[in-house]
Structure 1
Amino acid sequence: MYMIKIFLFIVPVVISSRIDQDNSSLDTISSEPISRFAMLDDVKILANGLLQLGHGLKDFVHKTKGQINDIFKKLNIFDQSFYDLSLQTNEIKEEEKELRRTTYKLQVKNEEVKNMSLELNSKLENLLEEKILLQQKVRYLEEQLTNLIQNQPETQEHPAVTSLKTFVEQQDNSIKDLLQTVEEQYKQLNQQHSQIKEIENQLRRTGIQEPTENSLSSKPRAPRTTPFLQLNEIKKNVEHDGIPPDCTTIYNRGEHTSGMYAIRPSNAQVFNVYCDVKSGSPWTLIQRRADGSQNFNETWENYKYGFGRLDGEFWLGLEKIYSIVKQSNYILRFELEDWKDNKYYIEYSFHLGDHETNYTLHLVEITGNIHNALPENKDLVFSTWDHKAKGHFNCPESSSGGWWWHDVCGENNLNGKYNKPRTKSKPERRRGICWKSQNGRLYSIKSTKMLIHPTDESFE
């Protein structure tokens, strides 16, 4: 390139000098012939310049050729990398298609399981009602049979009475067998549902994870030696008509699988609960939040008697909870999971009042790995938007849902609005499921469980 510039500079100079000489000759002696030797010198100069230019061009071509070869090598490497990326992209697309097909199959299977669960639940409730009616009829017939037997000689027994007794026993055995079959089907459905939920959670974790907040974690605390609240009248749990009064009795019968069971506490009606078996101990689940599928901004009546589905999000009902815990002294356990999938818990000994006290709650912390956001040894009164306890007029409206409040609204509420995705504004966090940390900040909670189990029972 440098030689080209020299040549381009020399050629105009030579031509210009030649023109100047011609003009000078014409001016001085117009008739004098041009010197041949001068022309030969000009040609030599021009030839020399062209030769140098040729050498420069040759070097430039060699250099350019080397650069082009390097570029081609890099292009070949790029082509190979692009080809490898294309193969990987195609594999990812195939895996994505397979993942979508699997997800769709799981969703269909989940719907089928839910429908079967609802159908079985309905059948079980009908069977329980029929069983109660039959048991009442059986008791009535047994009384009549007793009277007949007492009024007749021992050696005589009416054939109709014997036939009736046999029929009643057969009916009772058939009902027991049917209930056992339904319970076994329930267990299988619950296991399948749990497996599907676990697979769905694994699939979700493979996707894009949203930003998370700071952790709620605190150092695990050793169990406190605080005595349990001896505020409930301690009674021995007694079965009525063969129906267990709580999950502990069910566990001691040999049912060591988590699932839905029918119980009948003392002086209460039969109702279904979810027994959650943890490390060899049966817990009764009284509340669960997981995905926001159930609205928790319900009325006082619904909070009193319960709402939702035991296999999903639900509130068991204050009256049902009271009927269980009045039988003995119980522990209340809160289990929380944040948006980083970190899990926390805290346990209290507690006493729950009846409807005349608005189900007032008294707590004493036992142990846990999270800050205690609930005041101890205080009257925590339950309120809803349509049933506001004295001193808590605005708490249900400003915080959403029904909950136990004391002096300050919004420090914790596990029955608030399910914020999905997590909100960053403090007013929205206050209305949602939240728990106050040790530094005073409100944290949005992803999922919750509230569980109870007796303190004075042994587990077989």
Structure 2
Amino acid sequence: MRTSLATLTLCFVVLMATGFPFEKKGASPSAGAAKEKRVQYAAWDDVNVIAHGLLQLGQGLKEHVDKTKVQMRDIFSKLKVLNHTVTELGRESQRLRVDGEALKARAQGLEDREGHLLNVTAELREKAEEMQQEKRTMSERMIRLEEKVDSMLQGNTALPDMNPGAKNNSDASNIQLMLEAQSRRIDDLMERIRLQQEKLDKQNVRIRTLQSQIQHSRQMSTPQSSSTQGPVQRGVTEQRDSPVEMAADCHELFLRGETTSGVYNIQPVNSEPFNVFCEMTADGGWTVIQRRQDGTVDFDQLWEAYEKGFGNLNGEFWLGLENIHTIAKEGDYILNIKLSDWGDDSASVRFVFQLGGKDTKYSLFIQESGTFGTLESSLGTDAIPGLPFSTLDQDNDRKVDTNCARHLSGGWWFSNCGRSNLNGRYYQSPPPKQRHQRKQGIFWKTWRGRYYPLKSSMMMIAPAAISQS
């Protein structure tokens, strides 16, 4: 721009020079007169117009230069900000890469620890099986010894050349000593089995904790699908479209005209929608909160699983303590329990109940019992003042020196470990012979006894008004 201004100034000087010529010193007058005839002078007005135009052009060029400088300063400022942003993004990308590698390393470490624990658990199980085999061998030897004692008491082993009474007394004394030794060995073996079982229980708790940590780490490193609705929703397909305004429970769906049992989507008050299985009957719609029927789902779960729910709504499942509380918190509800044994006999009982929230450990409060008094005493009497829920990792039962969930199995509203447990282990018929195994099954003591594993159970809830409809 400066070069252009200099060029314009030079042109202006040339024009001025041509407009006002001058004579050289020492020239003759006649020569000057002749030259004056050849030179033509520019008009003063033309010179002023040209000068004025050049001044305006210079002023315009100056303004354009100033504006260009301002724009270039803005561009440089924006480039500086952009460079700073790119640098920050590079640092953030590096930090995220480091965090991702750390998460992967942590997950790998947890998987290694899980594998080690699984190996240790397998070894402990093998030892426990060896002890069980040794115990069976001891039991067989005891049976043989008892048979021998019986035969000797009957005089079958007395020899003719000895006094029968002395012979029997000597053999009886020896057998008594052998029995005492065997009894001590059996007691020692049972103690070893008990210690091994405690170790197995501890290993199982550690394995479940590690599995939960691994799953949490994978969830942190893997984007979650927006369509996932919870643990109990996997493998579930709705049979009908939900109404435009979602119902609060299955009985409300029944009142709207739904009569087919199946999976529906509900939305209790002040809650997110979730799927449930509705059992539609002649008197109303029941929301199923638990079903046991074939043992396909492991109910020996920790507190978090029982709180959120697990299983398949079309098969075996537990709806989740939080979901149950969300449905039943608005008023009195009826808890309907249906049981069946391996002889295809069935029984049921109904309670008016309330379920507390997380702050009460989801305590179950029974207000009044149903019509089946023989079933009622296995849960209703103990739950009238309120029974908190207990699991393997949260001992909330009333038995001071025992964790009922660990002593039995699964999570339940335990009182003193022996009245009822519909979330225990599922045993096919015939049940196991060992008593300590049978009492870990699904049982309702006042119907078939504590040591009878039931074939199926189903727990359903509905508003108390269903009994009046």
Query: Scaled by the length of structure 1, what TM-score is found?
Result: 0.47
Larger RCO, structures 1/2 (Cα 8 Å, 6+ apart): 1
Query: Scaled by the length of structure 2, what TM-score is found?
Result: 0.46
Structure with greater Cα Rg: 2
